[in-house]
Structure 1
Amino acid sequence: MNRYCIDCDFSACQYCCLSSASGSHRHHKILKIYRHVYTDVVSLGTMEKYIDCSQIQPYKCNKRLVVALTPLPHCGPTLNNEMSCEICKRRLAEPDQYNYCSISCKVTAFERKSSESDPPFLSNDHSSPIKEQRKKSTQPDKPKHKRKGYPRRAPLF
């Protein structure tokens, strides 16, 4: 599942997108998703066509600038808030140029905005399915049971 069709709001593998019998994705906008440090990233040049990536920290992956979809695991939290992401407090390589470490952090910051006079996050209307998918992925899940706690066994009679 390393392709994402923007027009259909659908994830698929490269073989499903390219070799479909009906050619349903032939003229659609398709993003290629890469793996970098155990997380999903997209090419910065491709993503800039759909959203404003100006304040997101890019990373180098195989001589290509990429933007992370979620925070990278190796960027640990810092104590100094000036040198970290505004949302997840992870360390940034160039904090004077960038405010966020990933697309999900920038989307979270955009959702927290209270003022309508602030500039929009998205650069055009074609990317509304991406925004909807990001909103779905950032919604909190049901709380999970703690590993240790009250035993959940049947009562002994």
Structure 2
Amino acid sequence: MSFTGKTDSYLNSTLENNGFFPDLSLGDLQRLYRIPAEYSKEKVEHHLRLAMLDTNDDLAERQAAWQAEGHNTLAEVSDERLGGKPVLVEHYQRAVFCRATANLFGEFATVTRREIGENQAKEGEGIAKMYRAQADRALRYLLGRKTTITAELI
């Protein structure tokens, strides 16, 4: 039970993905990124779905290349594992969960309009930027870019 009187139970629901990228659990998002239990299932699901769509769009060309190489799922792309889990799947999950968390965090900080809410909103933007940066790092890894710097000749 949380201080709000609401249960701390995690959402027991999984969002189906496009078949290539893994399905993702709302409960995993809540547990791993401390999404407040006060959020409705619909709100968490909506933001997780949007983060999945954005990430899938960013990886569309890479997905096509992997499929052209004969891979049916992201988990098949590499044999590299950490803790028994495919490394690329972990990076994908991080990219999606960080995007969803950044969007959800911004909403949580502005729920109250008192002075404390305004301060949380200001601090919240910094935390949201941090989660967006983590999502970008995970995407760069999936795209084959191991650094955080890219230079292009114009």
TM-score (norm 2): 0.26
Larger relative CO (CA 8 A, sep 6+): 1 or 2? 2
Greater strand share, 1 or 2? 1
TM-score (norm 1): 0.25
